[in-house]
Amino acid sequence: MATALSAGRVIRKIQKNGIDPVYFLSGDDGYLQEFFIEELGKVFLKDGGYKTFISLDDDNEQDLLGELSAFSLFEEKRIIVVRQIRKLTNKGKDEMLGYITSPNPSNCLLLISGGEVKPNKFLDALKQNTVYVDVTSPEGQKFREWAVYIANRKSIKIKPAALDLLIDLQGDSLAKIFNEVEKLSLLMGENGVIDKSLIESTAIHQRQFNIEQLQKSVGARELGTSLQIIRNLLESGSSPTLITMNLSALFQELLWKKMGAQRPKFNWLIRGSVKRLLHNYESNFSIIEVREALRELRKIDVLTKTTTLQAISLFEPFIIKFCTEIYA
């Protein structure tokens, strides 16, 4: 089975002019995908050319196949970015695999498959016959390393303490962090350096969380963090129904693992970063606790839809109960 290369490793090779004709990007981080495309363009299109974007959600596969077979009299270089490649027909898949064996040297083809997908012959063939690149969201120290690297590549001047504070405030989203960094860079001007005091003095100091972080904190039974996240999510307008769905998906995954059962289908509510930690979370809960959590989440779902009770008054007792092993 082919192993995905890290995006950083492939970008470093590209910067040394080591460009391959076809890349297969697999992962759920849209910011990393766009950063990869940007870095490739700096090298492959440095002497001219253009990018073409095709999504098989909206575009006809014949448009894609036409782009691949198009001949340029002046050998103009093109980066062709294709999303939703799983939507190719069988005929389209065969033609794509045929192209990969003999690609047009004037083209650089990027095939993008976001998120987790079930293995199949077509995707396996892409992994084996292209440069297979991992663009899943980085975590922990890797996340900070990516943030530092991107800041340097974009010539953004930010002090380490300021970057650490932004990471703490904005959570594990490269897109959110650099959206704020670029705003601050405009305030600072060309030669300004973003420091910690600037971040503390701006209106962005309210930390933002996402539901994935709630799944992680509840799975790890981190009471304080879970309470902070649920309050933040509800105050920022997150749907109680969506929160309930995501917590239910977490405990359903744990139940399947406890029962030794295979998941019946791909669960889009469980991202790869959470899935990789499920074996840790499984040891935190007994099967009785998992079943009880699912029953209580069903009650919360009904109550948020049929009563005027505030959602926070329903979620907080649930979190206290399942993060501290206090059972009524």
Asked whether the predicted pLDDT for residue 312 surpasses 90, the reply is yes
Q: Please compute the mean of the pLDDT values over residues 272-285 and round it to a whole number.
A: 88
Quick: pLDDT tens for 62-84: 888 888 877 665 678 999 999 88
- Is it the case that residue 265 has pLDDT exceeding 70? no
Model's pTM, two decimal places? 0.68
CATH number, domain 5-134:
3.40.50.300
Domain ranges of the chain: 5-134, 140-205, 211-324
Residues 252-262 have a mean pLDDT of 84
Predicted local confidence at residue 327, as pLDDT: 46
DSSP 270: S
Domain 140-205 has CATH 1.10.8: yes
Average pLDDT over residues 145-158: 88
Rg over CA atoms, the chain: 23
pLDDT of residue 204: 53
- CA pair distance 129, 131, nearest whole angstrom: 7
* pLDDT tens digits for range 174-219: 888 888 887 777 777 666 788 888 887 775 556 678 888 999 999 9
Task: Give me the DSSP letters along 41-109.
Answer: HHHHTTTS-EEEEEETTTS-HHHHHHHHH---TT---EEEEEE-GGG--HHHHHHHHHHHHS--TTEEE
75: left (phi over 0), alpha (psi -120 to 50) or beta: left
118 or 317, higher pLDDT? 317
Residue 168 reports pLDDT greater than 50:
yes
Exposed e or buried b for every residue in 277-304, given b needs 16+ CB within 10 A?
ebeebbebbeeebbebbbebbeebbebb
The fold of 211-324 is Zinc Finger, Delta Prime; domain 3 (1.20.272)
- Which comes out higher in pLDDT, residue 166 or 269? 166
Amino acid sitting at position 87: K
pLDDT confidence bin for 266, thresholds 50/70/90: low
Residues in Cβ contact with 311 at an 8 Å cutoff, skipping those fewer than 6 apart: 234, 240, 243, 304
> What is the number of alpha carbons within 13 Å of residue 113 lying toward its C-beta?
21
What pLDDT sits at residue 264? Answer: 53
pLDDT (mean) for 103-121: 81
Tell me the three state secondary structure of residue 262. Answer: coil
**Residue 326: what pLDDT?**
52
